[in-house]
Amino acid sequence: MAIKRPRRRGRPQTVLPLHSSSTRNAVSCWYCDFKIHTFNEALFSLGRRYSRFIKMWFTVGAAFSLVTLTGVSLMLLWDSTDALTLPLRTSGVNGLLQRWLFGTTFLFPGSISILDASCMIISTMLSVGVHEFGHGIAAASEGLRIEYIAVFLAIFFPGALVAFDYDWLQSLPQSSALRIYCAGIWHNITFSAACCLTLISLPVILHPFYLYGQGPLVLAVPKASPLYGYLSPYDVIVSVDASNIKNPHEWINIMANYDSQMLPEPYVTKGIQSFEALSHIKGYCVPDNWIKASSTSCGDELADFVYWPCNNSRPVFDNIRDKMNKSESKHCLIARDVVKLKKCWSWSGFNVNGSIGRVCECLEDETCMTPVQIPGMSWVEVTYSSPYSSQCLEYRRNASTYSENYGFDSTFCGGTFVFIGDALSLAHSIHLSAYQPRWTFTAYMAHMPDALEKFLACCFHISASLALVNSLPVFFLDGESILETVLCYFTFLKRRPRLRFLRFCLVGGTILSIISFSRLLYFMIAARK
């Protein structure tokens, strides 16, 4: 995190050992740094060469940073008052930091892999580098020489800074100093915007090499996942309950909607929810000879099915509760065979007027039957394909031979299975990607879009958080320098009252920030448990 540059207009130096006379690396029991002098001349030359353009760029940045500082300060005040009335809710700065500063923790659910940790470390270093480059190039455009760039560790907190010639800094106009102090925040904001635009444009950028939105590609199936053994890495999920899905977001939304879905009127008044819960009246056209050969005791691969009598428009509800509670009306069928049959009834969902999107379309020698579920459990039918598996590739190479032996309805390139249980447990239990390699397939090609998405998302979160934190009116951050310079424009305030007001704002802002961060940390720890 960027630490405030020492100053400035007669004020004492910061507690960090960054005096301009010391250009050697500093090491102490609580602080150490590494000073870099290699880029001093190159950065100064670049800033002077494009001085006019850079000044215009950072003038816009200064205006934007002042708006950000004002907005963050107001949110900090609102957050402190909100904490007194609603102590268990996060809002204001807390809400922004929860989505930005700690938002990266939700990009990597469960255990963090080496790739995830590398993304976080590299994006942090890049965001801090962009921040400090903003300060350095802004200072160079004003003719202010850079003494060194330092990477430091204060206690356990890493950071970086750019050291200036402070005697020359004090002689600069207030507008120039303000541009220098706001440069880091402005660069972090623009860097976050660039990462966001790149992330949105990633499907177009990767279009020559990847298919996007053609079904989520399974990258990993942990052993703790309920789908372990059903899906394999590099399978493609085609549909869920006969509804095609295009990307991982649709997969998560479908699973999350299972708990929120309820049978609408007039079916609730008919008592449908009072007996064994049906999985949203999902029906299958089961041949009558299967029903006659079925048993009434179900084993591991068998599931309970009951008749779902119907006419051409809606189910017949008369005496249906009594029929479904009788054991002789239940039939145990092999679920993996039933899911291959034609579907009947409400796979398309309920309409607003209470009618069902699908009617009984079974043949005369078939009966519409629906699985019986325990309340709170869902019947989830997942269809997948395995286009990159060795068996499927071999099948494609020898399609004619396989067709003669197995028929055209081969399962070498996919299949369908049923999950019975808590659908929400499926949502984040597997690692999915919205991209499928278009040409050649390798593990590297399959994981590269996911790594790019994570890296860009990390850069966005961390860079935006860095801009937000440095906009806070607290000690040792850019917000202190910006606030001090802005107060110099209020000429009706004498020097001593201005310094008192500045100290009051910084003390108050620091205390409120500590409280806000403490509450946020508490909420984040509680959410992870």
Q: Which residues are catalytic, by number?
A: 132
The rounded distance, in Å, linking the Cα atoms of 218 and 239 is: 13
Nearest to 276 by CA among 382, 417, 380, 370: 370
Give the DSSP H or E segment for 323.
helix 320-325
Dihedral angle of Cα 485, 487, 491, 496, to the nearest 10 degrees: -100
Enter the tokens of residue 477: 């951050």
The separation between the first and the last C-alpha atoms of the chain, rounded to the nearest angstrom, is 27
Residue 67: Cβ within 10 Å count: 11
Residue 16 · residue 3 · CB < 8 Å = yes
Residue 473 · residue 93 · CB < 8 Å = no
Map 185-251 to HEC letters: HHHHHHHHHHHHHHHHHHHHHCCCCEEEEEEEEEEECCCCCCCECCECCCCEEEEECCEECCCHHHH
The rounded distance, in Å, linking the Cα atoms of 2 and 5 is: 9
Residue 336 · residue 317 · CB < 8 Å = no
Residue 484 · residue 499 · CB < 8 Å = no
Residue 454 · residue 107 · CB < 8 Å = yes
Q: Verify cis geometry, omega within 30 degrees of 0, for the bond prior to 266.
A: yes
Query: What are the Cα distances from residue 279, in Å, to 200, 239, 258, 421?
Result: 36, 17, 9, 11
* Residues forming a β-bridge with 287: 366
142: left (phi over 0), alpha (psi -120 to 50) or beta: alpha
The rounded distance, in Å, linking the Cα atoms of 37 and 50 is: 21
SS3 content of the chain, % helix, strand, coil (to 5): 50, 20, 35
3-state secondary structure of 278: strand
504 CB burial (10 A radius; 0-12, 13-18, 19+):
exposed
